[in-house]
Amino acid sequence: MIHNSIIDAIGNTPLVRLNKVTDGQPLTVAAKVEYLNPGQSIKDRIALKMIDDAEEKGLIKPGGTIIEGTSGNTGMGLALVAAVRGYKCIFTTTDKQSKEKVDLLRALGARVEVCPTNVEPDDPRSYYSVAQRLSEEIPNSYYPNQYDNLSNREAHYETTGPEIWEQTEGKVTHYVAGMGTGGTITGAAKYLKEQNPDVKVIGIDSVGSVYKKYFETGEFDKGEVKPYLTEGIGEDIIPKNVDRDLLDAVVQVGDKDAFQMTRRLAKEEGLFIGGSCGAAVYGALQYARENNLGENDLMVVILPDSGTRYTSKIYNDDWMREHGFLDE
Ligand code: PMP
């Protein structure tokens, strides 16, 4: 079988049982290994869907430029799709993101503008604002805006959710995913709850982000925002892709717990993954423990991306020690 292009290799990632990091808990925890997508992250799914939908609506024309604010993974997905379909790419990102991610985007032919992390989203220097401005200045450009573009969650409704349902033969009882734009959690949760309304949906947030309080109170409280180092999850805005009604719980995980679990997943399970994966697994296991989940429970946890983008950080002992993340 020959794929027509690398785009056709997106999705249908494996579910893999976690055996050791569960520390003897009786439930089954199955990880959905999204680094096996061609762009090495779950974001290939939304990149393809956002561009497909834009082409269908006539929002992007041949030879056009795709402009997006991205922490790197969405950029990789968009850059792959752009390469195959003949578009140019400009990405804005923050100076918190790994250098590896920026280098990768440039390798795929994209222009990358690095913007400051610690400014308000509506500050003209923020990566949201710069992406917005460039999309207004550059003719025949398209700004997918993964935060508010509902093609994002639709991609997970159409692919991630059905794959989990089929791979578990409808036996999934808990669905766990980190919340960045909210697309992964919302889209697949909607599909899974349509199949079985008893499926519990657990969103993973970062300490220093607004989602947990928003889930508990319905309020957006900027006072919750504090700096943290886990990349890809947590927000200082509430994107349109988030649907609070589909969530049953939100668990916040701090950087140290996230990164230590990330390293355990690599060393004990052979899963070389990124920091938001460690956060998701740590939060999932904490939820399982607190709710006494048993051997009839089948929890699916999304592992969004690969460890290759974090070798100078999470997988570097000096970096971990500098931040007080190693227990020696
Ligand atoms: N982990 C990583 C590494 C990511 O890049 C993202 C996307 N921001 C997420 C988790 C969260 O996924 P989503 O945007 O669908 O909520």
What's the pLDDT tens digit per position in 3-48? 999 999 999 999 999 999 999 999 999 999 999 999 999 999 999 9
28 and 48 within one domain = no
- 129-141 pLDDT, tens digit per residue, is 999 999 999 999 9
Residues 185 and 263 in one domain: yes
| Ligand 1 contact via 184 beta carbon (within 6 Å) | yes
The predicted model gives 267-290 an average pLDDT of 98
- List C-alpha distances in Å: 231 to 43, 106, 319: 14, 19, 15
Q: Which helix (H) or strand (E) holds 104?
A: helix 99-107
pTM of full prediction above 0.90: yes
Residues 273 and 163 occupy one common structural domain: yes
Q: Are residues 210 and 110 located together in one domain of the fold?
A: no
Per the structure, the complete domain to which residue 200 belongs is given by 6-36+159-322
**pLDDT given at position 71:** 65
Q: Do residue 183 and residue 317 come from a single domain?
A: yes
Determine, yes or no, domain membership for 254.
yes
The amino acid sitting at 69 is: G
Among 20, 32, 43, 190, the active-site one is 43
The DSSP 8-state label assigned to residue 78 in this structure reads H
Distance 211 CA to ligand 1 centre (A): 14
Give me ligand 1 centre to Cα 1, in Å.
31
What value does the mean pLDDT of the chain take? 96
Same structural domain, 301 and 247 = yes
Helix, strand, coil % in the chain, rounded to nearest 5: 40, 15, 40
Query: Which stretch of DSSP H or E encloses residue 151?
Result: helix 151-155
> Of 94, 114, 142, which residue sits at a domain end?
142
| Confidence band of 72 (pLDDT split at 50, 70, 90) | confident
Q: Is residue 201 part of a domain?
A: yes
> Does the Cβ of 180 fall within 6 Å of ligand 1?
yes
CA gap 305, 276 in Å, rounded: 8
**Nearest residue CA, atom 6 of ligand 1?**
232
- For residues 72 and 132, membership in a common domain is answered with yes
Residue 152 maps to a domain: no
Q: How far is CA 32 from CA 42, 55, 83, in A?
A: 10, 29, 27
- 187 CB near ligand 1 (under 6 Å): no
Residue 147, in any domain of the structure: no
Task: Please tell me whether residues 208 and 282 are part of one structural domain.
Answer: yes
- Residues 129 and 238 reside in one and the same domain: no
Residue 328 lies in a domain: no
Q: How far is the CA of 43 from the centre of ligand 1 (A)?
A: 7
Task: Answer yes or no: do 211 and 138 share one domain.
Answer: no
CATH number where 299 lies:
3.40.50.1100
What CA–CA distance (Å, rounded) separates 265 from 121? Answer: 33
User: Does residue 152 carry a pLDDT above 90?
Assistant: yes
Over residues 240-251, the mean pLDDT reads 98
CA–CA gap between residue 56 and residue 49 (Å, rounded): 10
Domain count, the chain: 2
Active site residue 43: yes
ipTM attached to this prediction: 0.98
Confidence of residue 237 (pLDDT cuts 50, 70, 90): very high
The domain boundary, picked from 85, 111, 142, lies at: 142
Q: Identify whether the C-beta of residue 199 lies closer than 8 Å to the C-beta of residue 323.
A: no
165 and 263 inside one domain:
yes
Name the residue of 184, 201, 282 to mutate for ligand 1: max ligand atoms within 8 A of Cβ.
184
Instruction: Please say if the pLDDT value at position 201 is more than 90.
Output: yes
pLDDT of residue 296: 98
Tell me the mean pLDDT in the region 77-90: 96
Q: Return the SS3 of 88.
A: strand
Task: Judge if the beta carbon of residue 102 lies within 6 A of ligand 1.
Answer: no
Residue 134 corresponds to which tokens in the numbers above?
A: 């460039």
Q: How far is the CA of 213 from the centre of ligand 1 (A)?
A: 19
Statement: residue 98 has pLDDT above 80: no
Residues 32 and 47 placed together within one structural domain of the fold = no
The residues with which 251 forms a beta bridge, in sequence order, are 204
Does residue 32 sit within a domain?
A: yes
Q: What are phi and psi of 238, to 5 degrees?
A: -110, 100
Confirm whether 1 is domain-assigned: no
Q: What is the mean pLDDT of residues 146-160?
A: 97
Q: Is the CB of 73 inside a 6 Å radius of any atom of ligand 1?
A: yes
Considering 97, 113, 142, which residue would you say is the last residue of a domain?
142
Confirm if 187 and 154 have CB atoms less than 8 A apart.
yes
**Domain-embedded: residue 99:** yes
Between CA 41 and CA 80 the distance in angstroms is 12
Question: In this model, does residue 69 exceed pLDDT 80?
Answer: yes
Name the residue of 150, 276, 313 whose CB sits within 8 Å of the most ligand 1 atoms, as the mutation to test its pocket. 276
DSSP string, 234-272: --SS--TT--GGG-SEEEEE-HHHHHHHHHHHHHHH---
Say which DSSP state 161 is in.
H
